[in-house]
Structure 1
Amino acid sequence: MTGRDPGRAVVIGGGIAGLATAALLGAEGWSVTVFEARGDVGGRAGTWEQGGFRFDTGPSWYLMPEVFDHFFRLLGTSAERELDLVDLDPAYRTFSEPSTGYSPVDIRSGREEATALFEGIEPGAGARLDAYLDSAADAYELSVTRFLYDTYESGSGLRDPVLLRRLPQLAPLLTRTLASHIERRFSDPRLQQILGYPAVFLGGSPYRMPSLYHLMSHLDLDDGVRYPRGGFTEIIRAIERLALARGVVVEKNAEVVQIETAPPDGPRVSGSTAVATGVVLADGRRIEADLVVSAADLHHTETALLPRELQTYPEKWWASKQPSPGALLIMLGVEGELPQLAHHTLLFTDDWRGNFDDIFGRHPRIPQPASVYICRPSATDPTVAPAGHENLFVLVPVPADPSLGRGGLDGDGDAAVETAADRVIEQLASWCGIPDLADRVVVRRTVAPGDFAADLHAWRGNALGLAHTLSQSAVFRPRNASRKVDGLVYAGSSVLPGIGLPMCLISAELVLKRLRGDRSPGPLPEPARV
């Protein structure tokens, strides 16, 4: 696998990881074809239009801007040139359950604003947040320079003296949960929830996730939250545009149903028993390749596209793994304005632990009431809704379980899904002071775990990928190459380094690092700026 000369490459899946990998390979001199099973690229970061409304159907928080900047610079451009980014103020707004009597809270990014907010809610919390964010920034810097860009082909990065000296500080962050880390420092439930909710962005629960991930608070409270005008589909279009400019061919409505292999005809890569030779499409075509990159769901890749004897991660491996939560998505086009909601709004239930137990516990169910995330991009971007209307994207974390059903248009999804959606709309209306919300809806679409499973081959209908538990992070996360099939590599949210658009860009870079034989723990050097 290491040190391969450019040849013919096939990329399975046209999500952000697949497109980004294709663009980097194209720039490296590979002849690349991307096969996307659906009618448009984007995968989880898709887009949907109806009645003059344009909805992002997945990611909606622009965080880790330096990762986007670095990726674009690798391709000779910049985020500033490719995207029209807007700083959000407030970064987001939170609502507590009405029975608590708490007023909505606006969270503004920046150390001074954040510490003043915490101090105003809980005396002494401002200074504690200052120390908390110092630690979060330190953990984030360590992750970017030592963990996220490492392929873990060797253990050299983990033996780095700089890292070893940090072990006394790191050990408690790996053995203590995020929730306990927060609760030891802050008493007010609103502050605990503001600091704990980012666990959901990483596909987990603050009660199960290691406290190392308190680094996420550096991103929204210190660093800032941005929005690409036109929606997150603009990120996908930019990367597709860069890929096409480097000779990449993107075929849509072209589903890969098999990865073809052959016995090795020379010295084998350690552990491999076959060589990837191409793919078979649903229409019967056989496409030859010197390299196959699967950016499709890892479980689907391993258990559906390869025979059992060539699976690095067979079904039994998945039995002990934790998926991210599933999601009930509700896309609403609403008549009239909704000033009660910020661009990003979070509804926090009073029974915070119970909410996560409903999702991840032994008896999973859709929480009621639920902690809910609402994106109102029309607060920032007039192009996503007709004049005089608002665009709402509502996400409810639910169990990863396709049997919960599938969504649909205008209430025609499975009954259980639509009933749950009705409850969430009613909850939003009640908690946020919009009593006539349901009557003002002119466009409605729901998406549920059954859709994620059917449309994206998502394992157990999960919405994000493999959760970032300790045993599924960094060196313990699935690697980006098959151990059984030489010439088969992986990208996306279930392999290194993890969940989210920035992580998927890094996963694309890790493919390139592996092909170059680069085992350094940090990002690739950027080309000299002209």
Structure 2
Amino acid sequence: MSAPRPGRVVVIGGGIAGLTTAALLARGGALVTLLERHDQLGGRTGTVSIDGFRFDTGPSWYFMPEVFEHAFALLGERIEDHVDLERLDPAYRLFPEPADGGPAEPFDVVGDPEANWATFEAREPGAGEAIRRYTEASTQAYRTALDSFLYTTFARPDRLLTAQILRQTGTLAGLLTGTLADKVAATVTDPVLRQVLGYHAVFLGSSPYRVPALYSLMSHLDLVDGVRFPRGGMYTVIEALERIARKEGVEIRTEADVVSIDIEDARPSLAHPRRSGSARGVRLADGSVIPADVVVSAADRHHTETALLGEHRDLPDPWWEDRGPGISALLIMAGVRGELPELAHHSLFFTRDWPGNFEDILGTGRSTPADGLRVPEAASMYVSRTTASDPTAAPPGHENLFVLVPFPADPSLGGEALERYADRFLDQVGSWAGVPDLRDRVVTRRVVGPADFARDFSAWRGSALGMEHTLRQSAMFRPGDVSSRVPNVLHVGGGTIPGVGLPMCLISAELVVKRMLGETSSHPLPAPLRPGFLAAARPRGVWSESVG
């Protein structure tokens, strides 16, 4: 008997989640078409060259290397054959807000944990040992998350109740009911050290006053595991995945703008009691229709629900009105004349009034959005100088700076106002870092803000990362990766499980594969995946229901 004919899959969006999903499903035997509305793949993980300067336009921290390694291994590849990683030392430099208006007194977090404990001890007696214990707990929480939560679709929540989880029930309850800020405050009193342990919440689109204490696990990433950088920039990861996807047979079409998912009405069934339709393909802005047996959307979740699924969406307007989109960002890509040794590859600037800074951009500590959001006068922000590690990112005698200022998710923030804000925050960087003429040395720059995220990525309220990770928007409470009303539509990327960030997007691609296979374990799939694995496993998940 001949093997079953592979089905057709359309993947909407060519960011890291869409690319990885497309490559995995093509390896499984599907006929995959990936549609990207821009002329460049990568989504938020983009790259741009301006007047001889090269910038990553989005993520720039390479965390959770084992997740990247596993994703490539599923595809039968070794990431080290594609991406050249450098371990950064210092991992990053901290600039606390100066008390007298002069330059800050920076200090480094380095690659040696013992050296960091000594640095922390010098700031606060007892802090070195306290943070050592904190990071030991964060490492345990990180391993628990990898082993038991991150790689599950939550299709079978009962399978999460392993002996290991049951032994940690009391600890996990505390990590879920308290905030990260509460946990940090119980560990150290020095305000800057609290910021060292809490700044990761921004990577989750939120603040330490809103995310669960479970996310203390992120301190394992920088204080224990260290920080890496792919030579040539983060976009080298996208380029590698594009090569692999094409090798697996994915048809990649850029400048292909999907305006709707074509859905045929269908009745509910015992297996799908909420079903209202079945996807038959996608419609492009030029009016053409691309047929599909399965549609996977890596587009912004709010856009997918409200624009692409229309009346067949799972999440109605009241659901969105009661949720928080998280932070947006002001991005400044600046080419600077002369050297900037004052700044490390990664630098963090922390304001004294940290709670006030977060209230400005997110509202109160509630999980729901608040009116009256505003741009802070002085900002806690992140600055990347990739020329510290890769001089090819700028012309000789110049440096490149990527400045990320957490901003309110307000799509009205754009245009000339952004340029004025950019001036303000470049001046802040220059003042705190002891480079008072920084803005005068800028020879070229590009500024991006919430209006650009809304236009370019259809981002909900112009958010920069995706739905923030409050408790009610994390783990099993986050929107799932399969539509209950159109069961052959799946979701991937930051708008679904497990969450935002490049590693989470890679895991979300694997979760789509699990859904297709009907695999309900909480563990990563064995690597490498065998070519044609979908056809061999068709009797179970979404795949058999769609094309069987």
Q: TM-score when scaled to structure 1?
A: 0.95
Name 2:167's counterpart in structure 1: 165
Q: Which amino acid aligns with 1:284?
A: G
Look up the SS of the partner of 1:402 in the other structure. coil
Q: Is 1:382 equivalent to 2:383 in the alignment? A: no
> Letter of the aligned partner of 2:320 in structure 1?
W
CA contact (8 A) 1:34 1:249 kept: yes
Q: Residues 293-442 of structure 1 correspond to what in structure 2 (within 5 A)?
A: 293-308=296-311, 310-361=312-363, 362=370, 363-405=372-414, 414-442=415-443
Question: Is 1:518 paired with 2:519?
Answer: yes
Question: Does the CA-based 8 Å contact 1:150-1:157 persist in structure 2?
Answer: no
User: Are residue 219 (structure 1) and residue 228 (structure 2) matched?
Assistant: no
Structure 1 residue identity aligned to 2:160: L
Superposed CA offset, 1:478-509 (max 9, x none): 10000000210000101000010000000000
Q: SS of the residue aligned with 2:11? A: strand
Equivalent residues in 2 for 1:1-400 (5 A)?
A: 6-99=6-99, 103-264=105-266, 269-270=271-272, 271-308=274-311, 310-361=312-363, 362=370, 363-400=372-409
Give 2:494's aligned residue: 493
Query: What SS is found at the alignment partner of 1:86?
Result: strand
How far apart are the structure 1 equivalents of 2:211 and 2:309? 32
- The AA in structure 1 aligned to 2:409 is A
SS class of match (1:367): coil
Moved more, 346-355 or 262-271: 262-271
Q: What percent identity do the matched residue pairs reach? A: 55
SS at 2:157's partner residue? coil
Q: Which amino acid in the other structure matches residue 183 of structure 2? A: H
Q: 1:485 is aligned with what amino acid?
A: V
Cα 1:524–1:5 shift into 2, 3 Å: farther
Q: Deviations over 1:49-103 (max 9, x none)?
A: 1111111000000000000000011111112111000010000001011116862
Asked whether the equivalents of residues 111 and 221 of structure 1 are also in contact (C-alpha less than 8 Å), the reply is yes
Aligned residue identity for 1:293 = V
Give, in angstroms, the shift of residue 230 of structure 1: 0.6
Residue type of the alignment partner of 1:107: V
Contact 2:327 2:361 in 1 (8 A): yes
Alignment-mate amino acid for residue 180 of structure 1: D
Whole-angstrom distance in 1 between the partners of 2:81 and 2:328: 35
Post-superposition CA distance 1:106-149 (Å, at most 9, x none): 00134312212211211111111111011000100011111111
Distance 1:212 1:425 in 2: 34
Specify the code of the residue in structure 2 equivalent to 1:344: H
Residues 1:275 and 1:439: Cα distance change in structure 2 (over 3 Å): same
Q: CA deviation at 1:223?
A: 0.1
Q: Residue 47 of structure 1: CA displacement?
A: 0.9
Report if the CA contact (8 A) 1:14-1:36 is conserved.
Answer: yes
Letter in 1 for 2:302: H
Give the letter aligned to residue 496 of structure 1.
I
Q: How many residues align?
A: 517
- Once the two structures are TM-superposed, the CA of residue 265 in structure 1 deviates from its matched residue by 8.5
Q: Which runs of no fewer than 5 residues in structure 2 stay unpaired?
A: 364-369, 531-548
Counterpart-to-counterpart distance in 1, 2:412 and 2:250: 38
Q: Could you report, residue by residue, the CA deviation over 1:235-278 in whole angstroms, capped at 9, with x for unpaired residues? A: 11011111000000111110000101113499674121211110
Aligned to 2:366: none
- For the residues of structure 2 that align with 1:337 and 1:221, how far apart are their CA atoms? 28
Matched position secondary structure for 2:329: strand
Counterpart contact for 2:268–2:276, Cα < 8 Å:
no
SS of corresponding position for 2:412: helix
Instruction: Give, as a single letter, the amino acid of the residue that structure 2 aligns with 1:364.
Output: L
Equivalent-residue separation in structure 1 for 2:497 and 2:381 (angstroms): 28
CA contact (8 A) 1:181 1:211 kept: yes
Alpha-carbon distance in structure 1 between the residues aligned to 2:114 and 2:69:
26
TM-score relative to the length of structure 2: 0.92
Partner letter of residue 8 of structure 1?
R
Aligned residue for 1:115, secondary structure, equals helix
**Superimposed CA distance per residue, residues 183-209 of structure 1 (whole angstroms, 9 cap, x where no aligned partner):** 111011110111111110111110111
Given that 1:87 and 1:224 are in contact with CA atoms closer than 8 Å, whether structure 2 keeps it comes out as yes
Counterpart for residue 410 of structure 1? none
- Amino acid aligned to 1:275: S
Contact kept? 2:75, 2:529, Cα under 8 Å: no
Partner letter of residue 509 of structure 2?
A
Give 1:451 deviation, angstroms. 0.3
The whole-number CA distance in structure 2 between the counterparts of 1:167 and 1:319 is 32
Partner amino acid, structure 1, of 2:76? G
The answer (yes or no) to whether the contact 2:139–2:217 under 8 Å persists in 1 is yes
- Computed over aligned residues only, the root mean square deviation of the Cα atoms, in angstroms, reads 1.5
The structural deviation recorded for 1:5 is 7.7
Letter in 2 for 1:128: A
> What letter is aligned with 2:485?
K
Report the AA paired with residue 214 of structure 1: S
> Following TM superposition, by how much is the alpha carbon of 1:382 offset from its aligned partner in structure 2, in angstroms?
1.6
Does 1:503 find its partner at 2:486?
no
For the 8 Å contact 2:183–2:213, the answer to whether it is kept is: yes
Q: Counterparts of 1:446-485 in structure 2 under 5 Å? A: 446-485=447-486
Distance 2:170 2:164 in 1: 12
State the alpha-carbon separation in 1 of the partners of residues 55 and 386 from structure 2: 9
Q: Report the Cα distance in structure 2 between the residues aligned to 1:522 and 1:19, rounded to whole angstroms.
A: 22
